[in-house]
Amino acid sequence: MKPVFRPLIFACFAVLMLSAVVHAAPNEPVLRLVADQIEELLPPAPHSEALIGDAWLPLHGELRRFYQERDFAAAWFHEPGDLPQVDSLLRVLHTAVEDGLSTQGYHLSFIHELLRQVQHYRYHNILFDSLSVAQLDVFLSHAFLLHASRLRTGQVDPNDLFAGEWRARLHRPDGVAVLSAALADQNVEGALRNLIPGGQDYLKLREELQRYRLLEKAGGWPEVPPGAVLRRGDADPRVAMLRQRLWMSDDLATLDAEDPQLYRGDIVAAVVRFQRRHGLSPDGAVGPKTLAELNRPIEDRVRQIELNLERRRWLPEDLGARHIAVNIADFSLQVVEQGRVVMHMPVVVGTTQRKTPVFSGRMTYLEFAPYWGVPPTILQKDKLPRIRADRRYLDANHYEIIPWRGPSRDPIHPSEIDWQRTTARTFPGLLRQRPGPWNPLGQVKFMFPNDLDIYLHDTPDRHHFRQQQRTLSSGCIRVERAADLAQFLLEDDPNWDCDRLHQALNASEPKRVMLRRPIAVHLLYFTAWVDGQGVVQFRPDPYERDGVLAVALDKLHERHVQTASSSAEEQIGTRN
């Protein structure tokens, strides 16, 4: 070789070694070069995000920790161009919509572009950019971790979104451990599928989402024209349209009818079924409320199902083999034992101004013949004005005032209080109502201790349970069949038979009874679910929580879209 060519050869070799360009052949130097690139892409704190390629990537703790634990070695390939688990990951990510999840935030377009480049290098056995491999590796790991988190605990945090109204114990997966195990076992798809909530309530609602999406894709259902209230025996051209509408939502078995304009028989039964499924009065008449629900667009129902799948992800997968569940939006309570509903009853929940919160607790005791302690807000707004107007109000309604502190717990005489100056803040004691048929807590209350002072209780106002909309309480839950619930909770205690229970329910003095078997209590909020007979149910949104959640998810989607767009623009500006 002539000496004149030696400097040129060494120069070319140095350029190749110093640049981030490597040949598609497996070797340790190549893997180390990719690892160095990954470490450079993931700066340590205080950086919260990094511009990688054309996208800003949030540097949450799990992503950097995952690579730190592996000394920043590439996770998704063992040699340049060899990506055995990527197809599995992308297959799962592209089906995220089946769980009502957005694919925004996974940077799928960027992943596909990088993957195209890397595969091009491999198939043509040419030089490729190790930075592209590093970027691809990081984006794949980020997408896995984000999807794992979304599957298990949802896309938004309800504790932030509904501050004070929602207390969810989110069971976040250890994404680093899950991802590491998935790659080691070469089972990325299986690892992510295992994070999908496995309860039948979630899986059945997920199936309904697919069914309703197919209906949406086919054009949805027809709108029933407005008109006079349809009642059994009426003849109306709109009945044919109504048959089509109810058939499409599986409320009517067949479109065939002797007279398609006559409103009777199977079509009336179908309307009753529809009304029951939507929390309407099942009177069989198609009035304004029923017509409004019939004409809700299919897109609204799809969205409603998506929102409730998100809510289900906020709950633990297993609510307990034995538990009490209150669905606030359905105004109902059910007792579940070994997966079977053994008791079901209507309830009354908080008003829209005093909403019943969503949380879980553990019922540990009952209190028969309870006192009712008047909350400060009711004292200030309701009781004090009445007492000032009529000093006999306290005795006439069986109230007494127990001092907050001091050696004596004897009631304070009303004459000792300056009622014109006293407020709820300066009130000298607890205003409480004595046990009896006048007491708003009825004969028994069911306690699962919590700092919100929320519990279940009986009520003397039986007529409220006949109303469809039962947002009437100050936050606690009134149950229709308190005696039956008490009997169920005490059935394992041999000291409590029917006679003793009857005596306790009719006593005049309070009695606390500890449960031998405490039971989990879940206060929930679902406006769409699948019942035990496999029928999808929809309910109105009394607290307008669907709307709040929908806005939050839309903003999340928009933020990801805007971030991707602004990142691309910034990258272009940097290149220029």
Q: What would the pLDDT profile of 249-263 be if each residue is shown by its tens digit? A: 999 999 999 899 999
| pLDDT (0 to 100) of residue 6 | 42
391-417 pLDDT, tens digit per residue, is 899 999 999 999 988 777 889 999 999
Same domain, 355 and 491: yes
Query: Are 411 and 400 contacting, i.e. CB atoms less than 8 angstroms apart?
Result: yes
CATH number of residue 230's parent domain: 1.10.101.10
> Do residues 402 and 459 both lie within one domain?
no
Is 306 inside any structural domain?
A: no
The CATH number that applies at residue 510 is 2.40.440.10
Confidence of residue 574 (pLDDT cuts 50, 70, 90): very low
Sequence-distant (≥ 6) Cβ neighbours of residue 139 within 8 angstroms: 52, 53, 55, 57, 107, 110, 111, 114
Return the pLDDT at 501: 97
**Does any domain span residue 544?**
no
Q: With bands split at pLDDT 50, 70 and 90, how would you rate the model's confidence at 29? A: confident
Same domain, 125 and 270: no
DSSP state of 419: T
Clarify whether residues 458 and 488 are in a common domain: yes
Per-residue pLDDT reduced to its tens digit, 534-544:
999 999 999 99
Query: Which of 5-14, 123-132, 329-338 shows the lowest mean pLDDT across its residues?
Result: 5-14
* 459 Cβ contact list (under 8 Å, min separation 6): 348, 440, 441, 442, 478, 479, 482
Is 214 a residue whose pLDDT tops 80? Answer: yes
Q: How confident is the model at residue 572 (pLDDT cuts 50, 70, 90)?
A: very low
Of the given ranges (489-498, 544-553, 565-574), which has the lowest mean pLDDT?
565-574
Task: Give the pLDDT confidence score for residue 79 in this predicted structure.
Answer: 60
pLDDT of residue 122: 65
Q: What is residue 568's predicted lDDT score, i.e. its pLDDT?
A: 44
Nearest to 47 by CA among 38, 56, 36: 56
Q: What pLDDT does residue 53 have?
A: 72
Q: Are residues 271 and 323 in the same domain?
A: no
Residue 182 located in a structural domain? yes
**Is residue 548 a part of any domain in this protein?**
no
Question: Positive or negative CA dihedral for 278, 280, 282, 287?
Answer: negative
Of 29 and 11, the structure prediction assigns the larger pLDDT to 29
Specify the pLDDT at position 16: 37
pLDDT, position 529: 98
What pLDDT shows up at residue 126?
54
97-138 per-position pLDDT tens digit? 999 999 999 999 999 999 888 877 665 555 567 888 899 999
Q: What is the percent of the chain where pLDDT is above 70?
A: 89
Q: Is residue 264 part of a domain?
A: yes
Indicate whether 11 pLDDT > 60.
no
Same domain membership, residue 489 and residue 384: no
Q: In 353-404, where do the E strands start and end?
A: 359-368, 372-373, 399-403
Interval 520-537 mean pLDDT: 97
pLDDT at 563 over 60: no
Burial code of 193-213, b = ≥16 C-beta within 10 A, e = fewer? eebbbebebbebbbebbeebb
Mean predicted confidence (pLDDT) in 48-69 = 82
Longest dimension (CA), the chain: 119
Domain match, 61 and 98 both:
yes
In this prediction, residue 82 carries a pLDDT of 58
| Mean pLDDT, the chain, integer | 89
The residue from 411, 434, 457 where one domain ends is 434
Q: Are residues 109 and 255 in the same domain?
A: no
Q: Is residue 260 part of a domain?
A: yes
Complete DSSP assignment for 460-476: S-GGGGG-S--EEESSS
99 and 59 assigned to the same domain: yes
Q: Is the predicted pLDDT of residue 562 greater than 70, yes or no?
A: no
Does residue 304 form part of some domain?
no
Q: Is the pLDDT of residue 15 over 70?
A: no
Strand partners, 445: 367, 457
Same domain for 189 and 285?
A: no
pLDDT confidence of residue 569: 47
Backbone angles phi, psi at 84, to 5 degrees: -65, -30
Contacts of 10 (CB under 8 A, 6+ apart): none
Of the listed ranges 52-56, 83-87, 305-309, 314-318, the least confidently predicted one is 52-56
Domain extent, residue 521, equals 319-370+435-536
For residue 30, what pLDDT is reported? 78
Q: Give mean pLDDT, residues 67-79.
A: 89
Give the per-residue pLDDT at 128. Answer: 60
Last residue of a domain, one of 434, 451, 475: 434
* Distance spanning both ends of the chain, measured CA to CA: 43
342 and 484, same structural domain?
yes
| Mean local confidence (pLDDT), 535-556 | 96
Going by their DSSP bridges, the two strands 511-524 and 322-327 should be labelled as: parallel
Q: Which amino acid makes up residue 350?
A: G
pLDDT tens-digit series, residues 410-459: 899 999 999 999 999 999 999 999 999 999 999 999 999 999 999 999 99
pTM check: above 0.85: yes
Average pLDDT over residues 220-229: 96
> Active-site residue numbers?
457, 476
β-bridge partners, 22: 128
Token representation of residue 470: 């039962």
Domain-located, residue 210: no
Quote the pLDDT of residue 68.
94
pLDDT band, very low/low/confident/very high, at 268 (cuts 50, 70, 90): very high
pLDDT band at 513 (very low <50, low <70, confident <90, very high): very high
Rounded CA separation 377/427 (Å)? 12
- Does residue 276 sit in the same domain as residue 189? no
Give per-residue pLDDT as tens, 181-197.
999 999 999 999 999 99
Task: Summarize the confidence of residues 487-504 as an average pLDDT.
Answer: 95
What is the torsional sign of CA 424, 425, 428, 429?
positive
Could you tell me what percent of the chain has a pLDDT over 90? 77
Strand 477-479 relative to strand 340-350, pairing: antiparallel
Counting the structural domains of the chain, the total is 4
Q: Does pLDDT of 567 surpass 80?
A: no
